[in-house]
Amino acid sequence: MRALFIIDVQNDFTEGGALGVDGGAAVAAGITTHLEAHPDRYGVVIASRDWHHGDDDNGGHFAVGVEPDFVTTWPVHCVAGTPGAEYHPALDVSLIDVHIAKGQGVPAYSIFEGTTDDGRTVPQVLDAHEITDIDVVGIATDYCVRASALDALDGGWRVRVITDLVAGVALASSAAALEELEAAGAELAVVR
């Protein structure tokens, strides 16, 4: 059985957001189109969101009182309950089965660092649906997509990154991330 991971397709990570990437809105729309075109492809569709605290630095993740280095510290983004933390409007949330919140007070890049509202982990959700294969889409190729796909590979799942449904912070680091994922065993594919 195959699952789809939708990684962090949030307003703050798309054009005009606090950490917006070029192509983010197109990725949101493309994921909706992909799911509508393939309604029976996935046993479960799981979407993650950064869901940070608004009253602290989230374990040093937010640069407070200093300039962010854009490696380990970042501008304030995806604060729980704010418009920036919401899914991009082009992503049809009715097509999502399971929602994962990550980064609640701590730095978190991988979907595996989050939980459902009722406390289930991603492996628990995958096991409940007898998932063997995972397609990964979303934002950003060079950060959270990369981390999520690597963790899935480390967990023993077969992973395919749909390269026309990801967007990254920078071209060079996104290309490097895809090369790293392929070398680690992920399949890179265009699936529309």
- Which entry of 12, 78, 102, 135 is annotated as an active-site residue? 102
* Other C-beta atoms lying within 10 Å of the C-beta of residue 155: 13
3-state secondary structure 72-133: CCECCCCECCCHHHCECCCCCHHHCCEEEEECCCCCCCCHHHCECCCCCEHHHHHHHCCCCE
Distance CA 124, CA 126 (A): 5
- Which entry of 12, 78, 142, 144 is annotated as an active-site residue? 144
Please answer whether residues 3 and 134 qualify as being in contact, where contact means their C-beta atoms are separated by less than 8 angstroms. yes
* Cα–Cα separations (whole angstroms), residue 9 to 21, 26, 31, 55: 11, 10, 10, 23
| Active site (annotated) includes residue 8 | yes
- Which entry of 8, 12, 135, 142 is annotated as an active-site residue? 8
Distance CA 142, CA 18 (A): 17
Q: What is the DSSP letter of 142?
A: I
| Active site (annotated) includes residue 55 | no
According to DSSP, the residues that pair with 48 across neighbouring strands are: 7, 100
- Residue 26 parent element (H or E): helix 24-37
| Active site (annotated) includes residue 118 | no
Catalytic positions, please? 8, 102, 144
